[in-house]
């Protein structure tokens, strides 16, 4: 009887682990378009991205405007030229922690991971299929006052961060969702950032998305 | 007098109203929709270029040849800039301008000037380099005075 129970626990335990680790890879073709008002410059970057959750490695194969390969691992970025010779290694900080691809594969995407970042819910407004949540920033993030997330039919539509002066300094919008396996993935990610002197507008288009 | 006081009060109240951030849920939802549209508008020309590059499988040289005016107007970068991702990209080798000036004097200031792109950040780092250089000179003079007076 004890053996039987143990066997059941092992089977169910394994099933839960397998379920949690079901998808570990994300791949897509992408275009990034960006405009910076301070430098009066713009970018168009086209290529393919692959993310491996198990090794936390993001690999970009860039085709336009020039052939390059970027590899993000932990807090380092390695750049390779078109012949895959290493060009440089830079420390870029813990940006992998904020990787959207990681959020797509895990369950953190629905609230933009705000709960994990210790934001607390201040108020919730519901109307039809829309839910608007106001989040209070944790004390350790001094420059952010509140964040607003909007969900439509359970899918995150956008997040707006407001600083302590009431300025909406960062906005991100997630549109054109596609359902792949049991995941809702946005194919268009728009963002806006307002710094002291600059405004940055950016759109990321994802095509041919695959997760496995 | 009363008239001017009323005007001043009205002006004060209007200012308060103007700076108060909206917390009305409907206004915030409207802000979501409007902001998304504004981003589209700002990037409309770049989206057209993106479509063209994808449909015609163009490289940068071909795009510049076919749409030179648009590429120049948009100041479209011909390279992939990773500067925004690097930590301390706004200082040469990540070392503050003050330290460059303090340790290397005028050569340090020259390194800052040559290593950084023109812009407000270069001005700031060069200025810090000058301060570092001055502090370095002052300290060395002070040290010499102390040594000479001790002899």
DSSP-derived secondary structure for B109-136: HHHHHHHS-SSHHHHHHHHHHHHHHHHH
Dihedral of the alpha carbons of A78, A82, A87, A93, in degrees to the nearest 10: -20
| Cα A30 to Cα A4, A79, A209, B146, distances in angstroms | 50, 18, 9, 65
Q: Is A197's CB within 8 Å of B32's CB?
A: no
- The answer to whether B37 contacts chain A (CB < 8 Å) is no
Q: Residues A108-163: pLDDT tens digits?
A: 677 887 888 889 999 999 988 999 999 999 988 888 999 999 999 989 999 999 99
As a whole number of angstroms, the distance between CA A29 and CA A48 comes to 4
User: For residue A40, what is the nearest residue in chain B, using CA coordinates?
Assistant: B75
pLDDT band at A182 (very low <50, low <70, confident <90, very high): confident
In this prediction the ipTM stands at 0.81
pLDDT tens readout for residues B77-127: 998 865 544 434 455 655 667 777 777 777 777 777 766 666 666 777 777
- CB < 8 Å to B77, chain A: 41-43, 65
Question: Does A92 sit within 8 Å of B85, measured CB to CB?
Answer: yes
Q: How far apart are CA A158 and CA A79, in angstroms?
A: 31
Inter-residue contact A32 to A201 (CB < 8 Å)? no
- Give me the residue from B39, B77, B86 closest to A92, CB to CB: B86
DSSP A14: H
Q: Does B42 touch chain A (CB under 8 A)?
A: yes
Closest alpha carbon to B101 in B76, B82, B129, B77:
B129
Chain B residues touching residue A132 (CB < 8 angstroms): 25, 28-29
- From B35, B53, B119, residue closest to A171, measured CB to CB: B35
Phi/psi at A198 (5° precision): -120, 155
Q: Does B79 contact chain A (CB < 8 Å)?
A: yes
Nearest chain A Cα to B89, which residue? Answer: A92
pLDDT in tens, B3-33: 555 555 544 444 444 444 456 888 888 889 8
C-alpha Rg value of chain B to the nearest Å: 27
pLDDT in tens, A35-57: 999 888 899 999 999 999 999 89
Is-contact A206 A30, C-beta < 8 A?
Answer: yes
User: A9, exposed or middle or buried, with CB in 10 Å at 0-12, 13-18, 19+?
Assistant: exposed
pLDDT in tens, A65-109: 999 999 998 888 899 998 989 988 887 766 666 688 888 888 767
Which chain A residue has its CA at the smallest distance from B22's CA? A166
Best of A65, A135, A188 to disrupt the B interface by mutation (most B CBs within 10 Å)?
A: A65
Verify whether the Cβ–Cβ distance A66 to B38 is below 8 Å.
no
């Amino acid at each position: 009887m004890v053996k039987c129970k143990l066997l059941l626990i092992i089977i169910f335990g394994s099933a839960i682990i397998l379920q949690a680790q079901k998808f570990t890879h994300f791949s897509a073709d992408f275009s990034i378009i960006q405009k910076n008002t301070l430098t009066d410059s713009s970018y168009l970057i086209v290529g393919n991205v692959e993310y491996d959750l198990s090794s936390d490695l993001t690999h970009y194969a860039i085709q336009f405007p020039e052939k390059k390969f970027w590899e993000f691992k932990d807090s380092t970025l390695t750049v390779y030229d078109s012949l895959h010779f290493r060009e440089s290694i830079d420390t870029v900080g813990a940006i992998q922690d904020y990787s959207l691809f990681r959020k797509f594969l895990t369950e953190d995407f629905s609230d933009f991971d705000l709960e994990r970042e210790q934001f607390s819910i201040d108020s919730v407004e519901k109307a039809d299929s829309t839910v608007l949540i106001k989040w209070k920033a944790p004390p350790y993030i001094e420059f952010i006052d509140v964040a607003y997330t909007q969900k439509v039919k359970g899918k995150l539509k956008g997040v707006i961060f407001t600083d302590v002066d009431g300025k909406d300094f960062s906005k991100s919008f997630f549109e054109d969702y596609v359902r792949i396996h049991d995941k809702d993935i946005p194919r268009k990610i728009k963002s806006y950032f307002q710094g002291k002197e600059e405004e940055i507008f950016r759109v990321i288009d994802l095509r041919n998305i695959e997760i496995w | 007098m009363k008239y001017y006081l009323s005007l001043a009060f009205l002006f004060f109240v209007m200012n308060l109203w103007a700076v108060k951030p909206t917390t009305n849920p409907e206004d915030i939802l409207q802000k979501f929709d409007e902001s998304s549209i504004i981003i589209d508008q700002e990037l409309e020309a770049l989206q057209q270029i993106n479509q063209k590059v994808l449909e015609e499988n163009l490289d940068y040289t071909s795009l510049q040849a076919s749409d030179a005016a648009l590429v120049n107007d948009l100041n479209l970068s011909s390279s992939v800039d990773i500067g925004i991702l690097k930590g301390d990209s706004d200082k040469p080798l990540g070392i503050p301008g003050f330290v460059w000036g303090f340790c290397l004097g005028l050569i340090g200031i020259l390194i800052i000037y040559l290593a950084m792109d023109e812009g407000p950040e270069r001005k700031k780092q060069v200025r810090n380099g000058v301060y570092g250089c001055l502090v370095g000179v002052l300290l060395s003079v002070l040290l010499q005075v102390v040594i000479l007076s001790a002899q």
